Amino acid sequence: MSYDRYLAICKPLHYGARMNGRFCLQLAAGSWLSGFLASSIIISLASELIFCGPNKIDHFFCDFTPIVKLSCSNTRLVTLLDMVLSSVFTLPPFLLTLTSYICIITTILRIPSTAGRQKAFSTCSSHLIVVTIFYGTLMIVYMLPNTKRLRDLHKFFSLSYTVLTPMINPLIYSLRNKEVKEALRKGVWKCVSRT
């Protein structure tokens, strides 16, 4: 999505030639395949662990880190591989998104008209908000130490990047549609006028 916004704002004349259906399909397939590969490796690593203690985790869902903590086998290699895989599969998309938005913001700031700048910012602001929530909470969960004081915060942020981001994404993009905005406004007006 950030590359799409980059082309639309920074290289609008190249947009039609570069963002064709085949390229979009390749981007989607690459994203799905890398996610499947990362998940498969993590699941195979977790299935090799030996569990001999309690079988309850203090988390909302079966995340890899709480499961590893339940294991009574040596988890150093698994934890190291998890960190390497997280870096390999998360860092490149994050850096691509960050680079795209740096280019987008510098291009927008060079637009002479205020209305043009405002339109360009409104085009990419919703995606930037979702990306910031996703990567921000993801980094907090996996980069901050998992102490007892931060355990509940980690659970909340894990819920944010797994539930909140996918939930608000369609909402944000559908609210850009005029018909959806009008239907929402009418619905809210009906609810307010009844009370």
pLDDT in tens, 89-108: 888 888 888 898 888 888 88
Instruction: Calculate what percentage of the chain has a pLDDT beyond 70.
Output: 96
The pLDDT of residue 63: 76
Q: What is residue 36's predicted lDDT score, i.e. its pLDDT? A: 92
pLDDT digits (tens, 9 = 90+) for 131-148: 888 888 888 877 777 677
| Percentage of residues of the chain with pLDDT beyond 90 | 4
Quick check: is 141 in a domain? yes
For the packed helices 76-109 and 114-143, what is the interaxial angle rounded to 10 degrees? Answer: 170
pLDDT classification of 151: cutoffs 50, 70, 90: confident
Has residue 39 been placed in a domain? yes
Query: Is residue 108 included in any domain, yes or no?
Result: yes
In a domain, 116, yes or no: yes
Residues 6+ away with beta carbon under 8 Å from 181: 175
Q: Is residue 180 part of a domain?
A: no
What is the pLDDT at residue 195?
63
Q: Which domain holds residue 31?
A: 2-175
Q: Is 61 helix (H, G, I), strand (E, B) or coil?
A: coil
Confirm whether 6 is domain-assigned: yes
Q: Which of 37-46, 125-134, 138-147 has the lowest mean pLDDT?
A: 138-147
Q: Is residue 74 part of a domain?
A: yes
Total of domains in the chain = 1
Average pLDDT of the residues in 82-95: 83
Residue 115 in any domain: the answer is yes
d(CA 75, CA 50): 10
Q: 174 or 195: which carries more pLDDT confidence?
A: 174
